[in-house]
A and B are shown apart, each in its own frame.
Chain A
Amino acid sequence: MLFTGDMVFVLITSFLLFFLGIFVFYKDSKQYINRSFFYLSLSILSWILSRYFEDIVSDEQLRAFYLFSDFAAGAFFAFSILLFCLDIAKVKAVERRFFRSLFFLVPGLIAVLIYATPFILSGYEINRDGIIDPIYGVLGSFYDIVVTFIPLSGIGFIIWGFRRSPERDRARYIYSLIGIFLTLSIILLTNVIMVGAIEGSGNYHIYSIFGIFSPILIVLFSGYSIIRYRIFNTKIIATETLSFIILLVTFLQVFLSEDMYQIIVRGIIFLSMTVLIGMLVKSVDTEINRKEELQEIAMKLAVANEELRKLDNTKSEFISIASHQLRTPLTAIKGFLSLVLEGSYGKISAEVEDVLNKVYSANSHLVELVENLLNISRIESGRIQYTFAKADITDTIRELADAFSVVAKGRKLDFAFVHPEMPVPPFLMDSQKIREVISNMIDNAIKYTQQGGVTVRLSHDREKVRVAVSDTGVGIAPEELSVLFQKFRRGKDSGKVNVSGTGLGLYVGKNFAEAHGGRIFVESDGVGKGSTFTLELPFRIEKGVGAPKAEKA
C-alpha cells in the first residue's frame, strides 16, 4: 500500500490524538479528568482508524472486522464523551470506582455483543459504491439510540456544571461545550441525518472524511480547555508536539518523492526545518519558563502587597479605635479634676491645688496628642475633611508671629515677619490646617536654632503665595533633605517642650499642602548652615488637584 495523502492525514491525526491523550494522562494521571480525556482520545482514535480502514482495506473479512470495530469503538466513544463531561462538571458520583467502571463495562458489553452476536449487527454488505454497510440486528436501533443520547446527555451535564460553577471556572466548560457540540453535530449531520441524501452522491467520500475527522474538534477543544486550565508547561510540550508533527510531515514528504530531484530538495527542506524548529522550540521553551517564573513572582508580590495593605489598615484602625477609647477616660479626668479644683468636693490646700493644676495641664496635653493621633489616622485613611473658605493668610501668619516672637525672645533669638507692601488677597483655603502647617514650620525653625534667629517671609505673585521660614540653625544634611517629609521622620529633638503644641510633623504638613494643590519643600546649604522651609499655595486650585472640597458658604 502506498502512502497516499489520505493516509498521511490519518496518520497525523492519529498521532496527534494519541500523543495528546498520552501527554495529558502523563501530566497528572491521578486526576479523573486527565484519565477520562485519555480514554476519550483513545476511543476517538480507534473509531477514526476503524472507520478509515473499513473503506480502504481490500480484504473483505478484514473490512468486516473494521466495520464491527467501528461500531464497537463508537460505543466506547459515546461513553467516554459522557464520562469526560461528567468529570468536567465535577460530578462526584462518577469518582466512585463502581460507578466509573460502568463506563467501561457497558460499552465493553456492547462491543462483545457486536463482535460475537448478531443482536446489534447481524452482518454487512458491500454496496454498489464499494462502501461497506452494516446490517442491523434486533438491538440495532437500541445501539443507535444509546450512541446518540449518551453524548447528548454529556452536553446536558456540561451545561448543568456550567451554571453551578463560579465565574472564573466557566471558561473550560465553554471550550469543551463548543468542541463537543460542534463535533457531535457534524457527526450527526454526516452519519445520520444526511446519510440518505449523501449516499449515492459522488461526494460521499468527502462527507465521510469530514465525519471521520470531526472528532478532532472534540479533542482540540477539550484538549485546549485542559491545557488552558493548567500552566504554561503544557504549551511547551504542545509547541514541541506540533513542531515534531511538522518535522514528521516534511520527513514523510521525502518518501513521497517521485524522483531523485525531489528527494534531495525535500531532504534539504527537512534538514533545515529540523534546525529551525530546534531553535524555535528552544526559545519558546526559555520564554515560557521565564513567563512562568514571572507569574509566580507577581503572584507572590500581590499576596505580599495585600498583606501590607491589611497591616496598614489594621494600624490605622488601631490608632482610630485607641484614640476613641482614650477620649472617655481623658474627658473624665479633665472633668473630675476641674470639679476638685473648684472645690466641689470640699476645700483643698494650696499645695494640692497647685499639683492638681499641673495634672490638669498634663492631661490637656494628652488630649491634644490624642487628637493629633486621630488626625494622622484620618489622613492616612483618606477620611480627613477640609473646609475651604476665603481667608487672609497674612492675619493667620501675624497671629502666629505674635505667639512665636515671645517664645523666640525667651530663647534669646531674633524673630521677624516680613510681608509685602501689596497685601496678599484672601483666597480659598482650610485656614485651620494651613495655620497648623505654618505653625509647625516656625516651631521647627525655633527648635533647631541655638543662636541667631528666624525669619518668616510672605510673598506672592500672580499665581501663588509663598511662605518661607528661614532659620540660622543646625541645617540639614543633603541626604536627609528628601526623607524629611516621610511619616514618623523627626530630626533629633534638641529643644525643650514643643511650644506650639501641635506636634503634627512634616508628613501631615505635606498632605495638607498637597490637598490645597500646593507643596512644601526645604532648602539647606548643609549642616550648621541653617535651612529654609517653604510652603507654596496656588490662589486657584485646579480641578482634579488636591482634596475633595467641602465648601462653607
Chain B
Amino acid sequence: MAKILLVEDDPFIAEIYQRKLESSGFQVVNVATGKAALKAIEDDPVYDLVLLDLVIPEMGGMEVLRELRTNGKYPADLRIVVFSNLSDPEDRKRAVELGANGFMQKTEYTPTKLVEEVSRLLALFAEQSRNASREGASAFPANGKRILFIEDEPVFIDMFGQRLSQEGYEIVPHGSGTTAVEAAEREHFDLIITDAMLPNMTGQEVIERIKGNEKTRHIPIFLLSASLEEAEMDKLAESPDVFKAFLKTQITPTELAREVNSVFEIKS
C-alpha cells in the first residue's frame, strides 16, 4: 500500500482528496504547512509520493521543494509532485528545475482523475526505479515462459511484445489466427494473448479453437480488444474462456507485463 504525503492547506479540498485517495487504497497523511511537511518527512522518510501544493502558509511550496532537494538529510529519491491552482507555465518550469518529478494543475483534474493520475505516477516511479536498478542490462533474464501473441498490427507487436520480452518472456508473434492456432497445437505455450480482430478470424473464433483442442485447452488466454462496445466484446470478455480481458486503449505495456507476471505469480 503506497504512502502519500498530501501537503494542502485548504481543509475542504484536502478532505476530498484524502477521502478519494484513501478509498483507492492509498495511505494518506495530510499536513497544512510547509514546515509541517518537512517535519513529516524528517520523521518518517518512507513516502512513496509527496503531493505538494504551492500555495501554503509558513513556507511556500517552492521553498519546500528546494529544501527537500538541496538538503542532504532528506532522501534523494523522494518523489515529489507539485500541484497547484496557479497556471503559470513559468511555475511549472521552475518546479521541474528545482527537482519536482511531476506537476499537476488542480483545475485540470477532478478528484477522481487526480487519483488516476497519482496512480499512474506512482506506477511510473516504481517502474523507473526498477529500470534504474538494472541499468546496463537490456532485459530481465529469460524466465522460460513462452507467450503466443496473436496480433496483426506490427506496432503493437513491437510495443507490447518488446516490453514483455524485456520482462524475460519469450514472445512468439503470429499475425493470423489460423497459423497461430496451428502453432499453439504444435509448440508449447504458457500463455496466449490475442487481439479481438484479426484479418481472417475473429478473436472469438481463435478462442473457440484453442479451447476446443485438448492440447491447448488449459492455456490461459488474455483478450486485447479495441472496444468493449463493439460486436459482443463485453460478452466475450466475461466468458470463462477468457482469463482476463483488456482494452488496448487503456492498458500500457508495463501494466500488461504486470498482469502477465501475476498470472505466473512472478513479483514485478
Chain A interface (Cβ within 8 Å of chain B)? 324, 327-332, 334-336, 338-339, 341-344, 347, 350-351, 353-354, 357, 361, 367, 371, 374, 378, 384-385, 399, 402-407, 409-411, 496-497, 499-501
Q: Which 5 A-B pairs have the closest CB atoms?
A: A403-B110, A343-B131, A342-B127, A338-B252, A335-B159
Q: Is B160 among interface residues, defined by CB-CB distance under 8 A?
A: yes
- Do residues B248 and A500 form an inter-chain contact, with CB atoms below 8 A? no
11 contacts between A and B (CB under 8 A): A328-B155, A343-B132, A344-B127, A344-B163, A350-B97, A374-B227, A384-B229, A399-B112, A402-B20, A410-B106, A496-B107
Select the residue from B97, B101, B229 with max chain A CB neighbours within 10 A. B229
Task: State whether B16 touches A344 (Cβ < 8 A).
Answer: no
Q: A341 near B124 (CB under 8 angstroms)? A: yes
Inter-subunit contact B226/A342 (CB<8 Å):
no
Interface string of B192-224 (1 = CB under 8 A from A): 000000000000000000000000000000000
Looking at B128, B160, B249, which has the most chain A CB atoms within 10 Å of its CB?
B249
- Is residue B29 within 8 Å, beta carbon to beta carbon, of the partner chain? no
Tell whether B175 is near chain A: CB-to-CB under 8 Å.
no
Chain A neighbourhood of B160, CB < 8 A: 335
CB distance from B151 to the nearest CB of A (A): 11
| Known interface pairs A327-B226, A385-B229; 4 further A-B residue pairs with C-beta atoms within 8 A, sorted by A's residue number | A324-B226, A350-B97, A354-B92, A406-B13
Tell me whether A410 and B107 are in contact (CB under 8 A). Answer: yes
Q: Are A499 and B107 in contact (CB under 8 A)?
A: yes
Q: How far is the CB of A362 from chain B (nearest CB, A)?
A: 11
**A331-B249 contact given A342-B131, A357-B102, A374-B227, CB 8 Å threshold:** yes
Chain B at the A interface: mostly helix, strand, loop or mixed?
helix
**Chain A facing B: main interface SS:** helix
**How many of chain B's residues touch chain A, expressed as a range?**
35 or more
Tell me, in angstroms, the Cα distance from A104 to B227 when the chains sit together: 74
B47 interface residue, CB < 8 Å from A? no
CB within 8 Å of A: which B243-264 residues: 248-249, 252-254
Cβ of B166: which chain A residues have Cβ within 8 Å of it? 344
With contacts A343-B132, A351-B96 taken as known, whether A332 is within 8 angstroms of B155 at the C-beta atoms is yes
| Closest Cβ neighbor of B87 among chain A residues | A496
Tell me the residues in window 100-133 of chain B with beta carbons closer than 8 Å to chain A beta carbons.
100-103, 106-108, 110-113, 124, 127-128, 131-132
A65 → chain B, closest Cβ, in Å? 84
CB-CB nearest in chain A for B129: A343
Report the Cα distance A302→B169, complex, angstroms. Answer: 62
> Across the interface, do B12 and A497 meet the contact criterion of CB distance under 8 Å?
no
CA distance A292 to B92 in the complex (A): 74
Listed in ascending order, the chain B residues whose CB lies under 8 Å from chain A are: 10, 12-13, 16, 19-20, 85, 92, 96-97, 99-103, 106-108, 110-113, 124, 127-128, 131-132, 135, 153, 155-156, 159-160, 163, 166, 226-227, 229, 248-249, 252-254
Q: Determine the chain A residues whose CB is within 8 A of the CB of B163 once the complex forms.
A: 339, 344
Q: Name the residue in A338, A374, A410 with the highest tally of chain B Cβ atoms < 10 Å from its Cβ.
A: A338
- Hey, which chain B residues are within 8 Å of A344, CB to CB? 127, 131, 163, 166, 254
Please pick, from B106, B108, B110, B159, the residue contacting A332 in the complex, using a CB distance under 8 A. B159
Complex CA distance for A339 and B128, rounded to whole angstroms? 10
| B111 cross-chain contacts in A, Cβ below 8 A | 402-403, 406
Chain B residues with Cβ below 8 Å from A499 are: 107-108, 110
**Contact: B106 with A403, CB < 8 Å?**
no
CB distance from B201 to the nearest CB of A (A): 18
A357 to B153, CA, bound (A): 26
**Residue of A331, A343, A347, A409 most packed against chain B (CB within 10 A):** A331
User: How far apart are A123's CB and chain B's nearest CB, in angstroms?
Assistant: 87
Contacts of B155 in A (CB 8 A): 328-329, 332
Q: How far is the CA of A350 from the CA of B125 in the complex (A)?
A: 13
- CA A407 – CA B106 in complex, angstroms? 8
B249 touches A327 (CB 8 A): yes
Q: How far is the CB of B24 from chain A (nearest CB, A)?
A: 13
Task: Please give the distance in Å from A153's CB to the nearest CB on chain B.
Answer: 56
Tell me which residues across on chain B come within 8 A of A330, comparing CB atoms: 249
Complex formed: what's the CA distance from A435 to B163 in Å?
36
User: Assuming the A-B contacts A407-B110, A410-B85, are A354 and B102 also in contact, with contact meaning beta carbons closer than 8 angstroms in the complex?
Assistant: yes
**B53 to A: closest C-beta gap in Å:** 12
With contacts A330-B249, A354-B102 taken as known, whether A339 is within 8 angstroms of B96 at the C-beta atoms is no
Q: Which of B16, B99, B103, B132 has the most chain A CB atoms inside 10 A of its CB?
A: B16
Select from chain B the residue with minimum beta-carbon distance to A354.
B96
Using Cβ atoms and an 8 Å threshold, which residues of chain B touch A403?
A: 110-112
